Amino acid sequence: MAKRVAADPAIARPGGDASRRRASRSSDYAWGLMPSHAPPHSGSVSPDPSTRPAAISVEDVSKSFRLGAEPARTLKDRLLTFGQHNGQLVDALSQVGFQVRQGECFGILGHNGSGKSTLLKIMAGTIRPTDGRVRVRGRLAALLELGAGFHPDLTGRENVYLNASILGFEREQVDQIFDDIVTFAELEDFVDLQVKFYSSGMTARLGFAVATNLEPDVLLVDEVLAVGDEAFQAKCMERVHRFRAMGRTLVIVSHGPERIKELCDRALVLERGRMLHVGDVDEAVEVYRAALYDLSHRSGPGRAALPPTGVTEDLDEGVAPVTLLSGRVVDAQAELPFGPGETVRIVIRYRLVEPVPFRIRLALRSQDNAVMLNRSTTDVLARPLPDQPGDYELTFTIDDLPLLDGIYRFAFVAETPDATHVWDRIIPPEGEFVVRGPDPAFGRVNVDMTAELTPLGSPPGPPVVEAAVSS
């Protein structure tokens, strides 16, 4: 169990005013973590990452939880159950170790249940590790989950001052930035309302505004950058980029590898509480996607990475006139994954019981549920499907696959031509495929482009300055 260690006076910070001393006490260590004795942030960062001091050091951290154990509610219960260990012991983290350098943006990737949030809470000091220790250099703020750190019975205004005081700020310091916090969170009309009446978006916006306006040395963010509308997300991203430009340290947990590639210098990949990779962000995304693809093809309770497979929905009572029997992606080279630009064939088998007008639509979604394709037989064939009852096989062909790296899955729908009625829908496991190019790629689609350069002449020379000379 990690223990709190007293500060070494030989390396303690130099003294200062009361507000400086309070801030240093709050920033030296979090709950149950080792003190860092970090000097105040200088605002300058070495251009060579290897020469920068470590802002966060995670040293062989492990965390175990006991599931199903009935907590002791009285002293009698404690005495009767003393020394007994009920419930299953589950390892959420196992010997995780890495460093985040000062001024670095560090990403953490992993599927649901991999231990990302547990690791971030240990780094923030809200829970203690079972083994190992974490050192944090400088003042730390964390956006762990919706409403974390806010008291629901206090107003937004009161929670701003409460959070700032926890970080070691005096009231006079918060007064100077309070209006900026409220304006950024877009809560001018609701700042004096109790937080328990806030929507989830309002709460998340206020949390992000408080954490970033207080400008801590280290900011931990757990899946909150996607809150709010598009305009607010753009403001959040601008704030994150400014935060990085100031030389602050940022740790981001996300399910979206594209966001990690956009923001982070390095990344960690977790799988069942163990490290799969730590280092280059492009390699981390490849490891994450490979692990997710492997996970989606393993059996086991509660471990589906994508929507449940083999699900067929009869949306009408009785026997539907059209039934989708199967759908699959055919690999012409008999190997996975596909590469951008390759040919992909999708084969659907269906049964028509009675003659009704209908069409078959296929929808392609990415791992984060974004719709990449939505086409039907009406669009592709430009004619209705035959209405003679029987079994049929329908093949769609994509000659030049325009997708970049990722995991994708088809869903197939049998519906009326005007899309007002659905007869059947399936999301088969055989409709899933992986795309991986020879080089790391950023984005979703591969677009052929050409470029043409036209010289516009030599740049003008320096302006001629005419001066009057008097004798």
- In a 13 Å sphere around the CA of 134, the CA atoms on its Cβ side amount to 28
pLDDT, position 81: 67
Q: Which residues have a Cβ under 8 Å from the Cβ of 74 and sit 6 or more positions away? A: none
Q: Who wins on pLDDT, 30 or 423?
A: 423
Average pLDDT over residues 107-132: 87
pLDDT, position 393: 92
Dist CA 468 CA 460 (whole Å): 24
Domain boundaries, the chain: 18-66+88-139+216-296, 311-435
- Prior bond to 337 cis, omega within 30? yes
pLDDT band for 349, please (50, 70, 90 cuts): very high
pTM of the model: 0.57
pLDDT band for 145, please (50, 70, 90 cuts): low
Q: Who wins on pLDDT, 145 or 422?
A: 422
Residue 16 has pLDDT above 50, yes or no: no
pLDDT, position 67: 72
How do beta strands 140-143 and 131-136 pair?
Answer: unpaired
**What mean pLDDT, rounded, does the chain reach?**
75
pLDDT, position 9: 32
Average pLDDT over residues 127-150: 80
Give just the sign of the alpha carbon dihedral 261, 443, 144, 213: positive
Task: Quick: pLDDT tens for 89-105.
Answer: 788 898 899 999 988 99
Residue 274 has pLDDT above 70, yes or no: yes
Residue 314 has pLDDT above 50, yes or no: no
pLDDT, position 351: 92
pLDDT, position 170: 83
Q: Who wins on pLDDT, 439 or 330?
A: 330
pLDDT, position 272: 85
Q: Contact at 8 Å (CB) between 282 and 109?
A: no
Task: Quick: pLDDT tens for 222-267.
Answer: 766 655 666 777 777 888 888 888 888 999 887 777 778 888 889 9
Edge to edge, the sheet with strand 249-253 lists 140-143, 218-222, 249-253, 105-109, 266-271, 274-280
Task: Quick: pLDDT tens for 38-58.
Answer: 344 444 555 555 677 888 999
Task: Quick: pLDDT tens for 53-83.
Answer: 888 999 989 998 877 666 667 777 777 766 6
pLDDT, position 146: 56
Q: Give the right CATH number for 18-66+88-139+216-296 from 3.40.50.2300, 3.40.50.300, 3.40.50.1820, 3.90.1300.10.
A: 3.40.50.300
pLDDT, position 139: 83
Average pLDDT over residues 300-328: 55
pLDDT band for 12, please (50, 70, 90 cuts): very low
Residue 456 has pLDDT above 80, yes or no: yes
Assigned CATH for 311-435: 2.70.50.60
